Amino acid sequence: MSESSGATPRLTLLRGDITEQQVDAIVNAANSSLLGGGGVDGAIHRRGGPEILEECRALRASKYGRGLPTGRAAATTAGRLPARWVIHTVGPVFSSSDDRSELLADCHRNSLLVAEELGARSVAFPAISTGVYRWPIDDAAIIALRTVSQAPSSVAEIRFVLFDDRALTAFRQAADSLGLPLG
Ligand code: APR
């Protein structure tokens, strides 16, 4: 982790459901429409309630008229969820011919920047792009953990919430290969 503002964000990995996390902000693996979907997106909207979609629609009616671009991040209320905010980010769809790694890294960098702007002290990420968008979990884990460990951030805790054992194992192995201490 980089030394910024003296603190080093604590990095934790756990198997669970991101909608249940008691953190300030959870990151949504959204799509550019911001109007919901399946996977994490579906779970967050379903459990968070209509306020989230209302604020997503407001984002589409203002700053993101053409949709949220891949790699960018934007926050809304978390509605009925334990978290205060949802940070929506659009992961790249995996391509074996086109290296989109930097866009996946941007999702994590930009989500942390938005979290800082909000004053969030704890942020939970899902394994962005590794479901519908088909990014291989092992590679996504390396990109995600390397990016957050190198991003200067005043966030106190960065949590990765993995939905199954395979993803948790992939992130543990990635943290180990990157030499990252886990909180
Ligand atoms: N909590 C944590 N992780 C979850 C949850 C949950 N409740 N539900 C699914 N996941 C995991 C999946 O197992 C996968 O590892 O989140 C990861 C990301 O999968 P997706 O949600 O499919 O997201 P992504 O691959 O980024 O595709 C985004 O899917 O749902 C649509 O609207 C979304 O079009 C967008 C696309």
Q: What are the tokens at 111?
A: 């989500």
pTM equals: 0.97
- Give CA separation, 155 vs 75, 85, 119, in Å: 16, 14, 8
d(CA 128, CA 141): 9
21 lines ligand 1 (CB under 6 A): no
List pLDDT tens digits, range 56-78. 999 999 999 999 999 999 999 99
Pairing of strands 157-162, 10-15: parallel
**Domain boundaries along the sequence of the chain:** 10-178
Catalytic residue (choose from 17, 24, 41, 99)? 41
Q: What's the pLDDT tens digit per position in 10-38? A: 999 999 999 999 999 999 999 999 999 99
Pocket test for ligand 1, best of 15, 19, 20, 40 (most atoms within 8 A of CB): 40
Architecture of domain 10-178: 3-Layer(aba) Sandwich (3.40)
**Known catalytic residue at 165:** no
> Is the CB of residue 132 below 6 angstroms from any atom belonging to ligand 1?
yes
How far is Cα 171 from Cα 183, in angstroms, rounded to an integer?
14
